[in-house]
Amino acid sequence: MEIVAVETVRDRPVWHLRFRVPGGIVGFAVDDLFERWVDTVTLASLRHEQTIHEGRCRRHTVFDIYPNRATFTKHGGAETTSASRPFDDGSFLYFVRTVSLEVGHRLDIPDYFMPAT
């Protein structure tokens, strides 16, 4: 897990985050790559890319996320409803580190960029 650089997405400064998951067992290799572009102020996700190599499974998925419209697209397709402060799995890890958590108290954060998931 690393912060690759500060870049710009849609005129906003973002952290480019990269998570690589290599491994596997004999006969089944895994080399997954998850890249995220996260707003440096709000920690909202603006783009999320997944490159999955698990055994024979190969998949590349690109999500563009638009917090100002509370929508996202998959592979540039139709816009789907999202959250106004959308997090993907990676940006959420960075966000939750900024929250004061108390033992025994529940905290709901309903801001995953794909609300139906």
pLDDT tens for the chain, 117 residues long, are 899 999 999 999 999 999 999 999 999 999 999 999 999 999 999 999 999 999 999 999 999 999 999 999 999 999 999 998 999 988 888 888 888 989 999 988 889 999 988
| Full-model pTM | 0.86
Residues 67 and 75: their CA atoms lie apart, in Å, by 17
Side-chain-side CA neighbours of 25 within 13 Å: the count stands at: 0
Written as one string, the DSSP assignment of 73-114 is EETT---EE--SS-B-HHHHHHHHTTS---TT-------BSS
> What confidence score (pLDDT) does residue 116 get?
84
- Residue ranges of the domains in the chain? 2-96
Helix (H) or strand (E) holding 65: strand 57-66
